Structure formats: structure tokens, C-alpha cells
Amino acid sequence: MPWTSEHTKWLIDTGERLKTADGKEVEVWEFRHENDEAVLSAWAKHFRNHYCLDAEIDFLRGKQTRKDYLNTLKFPCCSTKLGPGIRAGDFGEILVADYLQWLLGFWVPRVRWGSKVIRDESPKGSDVIGFRFHKKDCSTSPKDMLIVFEAKTKFSGSGKNRLQDAINDSAKDHLRIGESLHFIKQKLFDKGNRKQAELIDRFQNPVDVPYKESFGAAAIISDEHFDTNVIVPSDCGKIPKAPKSKDHIPHPNGDSLVLLVIKGPGMMNLVHELYRRAADEA
């Protein structure tokens, strides 16, 4: 299997908790990555397979080498205007997916990043969706849970409050769950994973077959740009009603919204190194 969880041992809960302007708790985690060749190589393989499964690359690449195929058609570019930002965003989303799956025990289908038509764009829809079945046989239970996370990164000198950006986007997730679930189900079916696709059925009719829902907003920030004074003004009670609107509404799930910050050293350099390894070691 191409997947690994070894790199998640570097994801450490600091125990630090911040308070937003509206009194919500923000968990602060650190990504203490190390120069461990074995872990980095396994992680690069894991990362690469989000964009193109190793089992499929030789058919898809045509006459190109694996490395050239990945660098010219699949991975966001390292040097275009938009590419580095998309790299950072994809990295943050996949790291949050790993956090949900390996640390919190959710099943997170990995279908979003390989479905891009344009590599230097972000896919539409919710960033990361995870599922948890209460029963081991995956039969339905009202204790089953669906979790939807929005993830934003800050690896450059932008003054933006990326946690607030994630909160704002999270406010729309309850409206797009249906489309996002259908997308996941269709992609699993297209890949021949019919049994996994059938598991999505359970979450497509919450009225007749209820389950628990959880929503989250995460900001992944490089240490050199981490500033608590930027984060703590975040407010789940003041979501712009529309883009550039001065009118605000409360987050529809603000009372139970999970807020998370992950910080670590040299994150953008790490991002570029991970993409390099993922291509070179294909």
C-alpha cells in the first residue's frame, strides 16, 4: 500500500490553547519534522499517491518519465505565480487529512487532489471530509460521525489571519455537503472501489438516518509567520454575509466548531522538498 502514517509522529499537541475574540478555544499543535530519510521517503510516496496512484502512473504518463509527468501535469508548479500557493494549500489539506485519519481515527477518502483538471488551481468544494462508523461492521448508528474541515496555510509574509479565513470558508460547508459527498462517492466508484463508495450512502440521508456532524477550521503556519496577536482576533460570530460585504452573520456551527493551528519551522522549504522527493523517487 502507498499510504503511511510515520510522519504524523512529528505532529505534537503543545497543550497551548488560545482564545478567540468570541471565546472559542484554539488548539495549538507543532509539526516537529526531522531530517529522517526513511520517514521522508515514505511520506513522499504517500504524498505522491494523492495526485496519482503508483499503480496507475505508468499508463497515464505516456512517453514521459514518471518525474516529468508528475512535474508537468500533476504537481502544482514551483515557479509560476499561483503554483507555490497551491502547493502550500494542498500540503496543508493533506496534513489535516492525515491528522483526522491517523490521530483522530476517521476514514478520509483521498480523492480530491488527483481529480484536478488544472494543476495550479484548488479543487472546488470542502477541503477535507472524514467519516467514522461507531460499529466495526460499518452498520448504521446514530453515533456515526461526519467531520468537515477547512484548511488554510500561511508560509509567507502575508498579514492575513488564515484561521479567520478557514472559519469563514467553514461557514459554507453545511451547504455543500451533499455535493461533496456525491463527488467522493463518484470518484471512489470510478476507481473501482465500489464497497467504499457504498459506505458514503450512509451519510447522504441524514434526515431518515441521522448521524453526528462536526466542523473544523485549521490554519497551518510557518514558525516565522506565527503570531498569536493575529490569530486571537478570530471571531466565529462575524462571518461576512457575502464576499466583500460589511454585513456579518454567525457561523452556523460556531458553538461546536473545532479550531486548530499547526505551526512548524521552515514549512515552505519542507513543502518544496516533499514535492521534489515525490517526483525524484517515483
105-130 tens-digit pLDDT: 999 999 999 999 999 998 888 999 99
Range of lowest pLDDT (85-94, 237-246, 264-273): 237-246
Range of lowest pLDDT (84-88, 154-158, 249-253): 154-158
pLDDT of the residue at 92: 98
Task: Name which of 137, 134, 77 is nearest 105 in CA terms.
Answer: 134
DSSP H helices, 18-82, are: 37-51, 57-60, 66-69
Percent of the chain topping pLDDT 90: 93
Say whether pLDDT at 78 is over 90: yes
Tens-digit pLDDT profile for residues 178-206: 999 999 999 999 999 999 999 999 999 99
Q: Which long-range contacts (CB under 8 A, 24 or more apart) does 8-15 make?
A: 8/98, 8/99, 8/102, 8/103, 9/39, 10/34, 11/95, 11/98, 11/99, 11/103, 11/262
Residue 150 three-state SS: strand
pLDDT confidence band for 158 (50 / 70 / 90): confident
Work out the average pLDDT over 213-218.
97
pLDDT confidence band for 249 (50 / 70 / 90): very high
Say whether pLDDT at 276 is over 90: yes
Work out the average pLDDT over 229-257.
91
Question: pTM higher than 0.85 for the full model?
Answer: yes
pLDDT of the residue at 153: 97
CA separation for the pair 282, 271 (Å, rounded): 17
Averaged pLDDT of the chain: 95
Say whether pLDDT at 89 is over 90: yes
Say whether pLDDT at 159 is over 90: no
Q: What is the DSSP letter of 122?
A: P
Range of lowest pLDDT (81-85, 120-124, 229-233): 120-124
pLDDT of the residue at 1: 72
Q: Which residue has the cell 496555510?
A: 153
219 near 261, Cβ under 8 Å? yes
pLDDT confidence band for 54 (50 / 70 / 90): very high
pLDDT of the residue at 157: 82
